[in-house]
Amino acid sequence: MFVVVSLNLWASQPAVQPEFAAQSEPVPSTIPVSELRYEVYTLPQSIVHTLLIPIGERFTVVPAVAPSANTIEEFAVEYGAIAAINGGFFDPENLKSTSYVVLNGEQVADPRDDELLVSNPQLIPYLDKIFNRTELRQYRCGQTVRYDMSLHEQAVPPDCELLSALGGGPRLLPELTSVQEGFWHVVDGEIRRDPLGIERPNARSAVGITREGNIILAMVAQQPEAPANSGMTLQELANFLKNLGAEQAMNLDGGGSASFYFDGEAVYGKLDEAGDRVVRSVKSVLLVRENS
């Protein structure tokens, strides 16, 4: 397995952990992608780890769900994955998924099964939106496997079969849909609901799809020099992914859940007050696997 890593210049070589690239803005490549392309951006307020996965038969991006919760490294080792990023939302009290997950055409996680979610009086007004958030879908359409993003209740395209899906949200591109998906509610200028801290910098994770259908994974880690106020806002994350070439993008669980694994190394995005990385187990992930 070969990857392309960013060391200011692209270089094809055996998979290694690169030094941080001294880049401030992502620039989409015009070179056709045939290998994994791993890049690290050191920005003033964050360190962003990205992985571009080419379309085709060689690599597959699929979700996985733990019976309780696992670290990103535990997921990757268990499934023999090349790379992984934390996935959908979950309830920290009972460790039940609050995002839909589909594996091999079967729904294996349903937020409606979380009794703490459905019985929370503060969330009842938003449940219809919570149950219809954006998800990354993998389809088989004839002989072609492709990825797309849609709301959960959106029908599968004609002549296509849903292979897998992972819910997250809100959609970041082509536009931010925080209100539509129940993540943002303002009444008379007063913020009534903002569970993600949309306008505050934080550790973040996201997945994007380029015009060519390639997949982008991105994990935003906080800067050790400013653990309390570094990272990205959701709009900054959307802009970053757009600059990378993503035409569609979806936010994943972030904050303490933000984590990324590549080539045997795990990276965690959230920092505590002392500037140390927060290692947190998560309910679901997206895995990158090489097909045999």
For the cut 60, the answer to whether the pLDDT of residue 99 exceeds it is yes
Q: Is residue 12 part of a domain?
A: no
The answer to whether residue 109 is domain-embedded is yes
Check residue 290 and give its pLDDT. 94
pTM for the complete prediction? 0.90
In this structure, is residue 258 part of a structural domain? yes
| Residue type at position 111 | P
Each residue of 198-235: pLDDT tens digit? 999 999 999 999 999 999 999 999 999 888 889 999 99
104 pLDDT more than 70 = yes
Q: Residue 5 above 80 pLDDT? A: no
Range in 8-22, 61-75, 146-160, 230-244 the model is least confident about? 8-22
Q: How many residues does this entry show for the chain?
A: 292
Domain count, the chain: 1
Query: Quick check: is 111 in a domain?
Result: yes
Place 34 in a pLDDT band, splitting at 50, 70 and 90.
Answer: confident
111 within 8 A of 190, measured Cβ to Cβ: no
- Note the pLDDT of residue 7: 33
Residue 13 lies in a domain: no
Domain that holds residue 43: 34-290
- What percent of the chain has a predicted confidence (pLDDT) above 90? 84
Residue 28 lies in a domain: no
pLDDT value, residue 56? 87
Pairwise CA distance, residues 99 & 209, whole Å: 20
Query: Does any domain span residue 203?
Result: yes
- Rounded distance between C-alpha atoms, residue 165 and residue 103, angstroms: 7
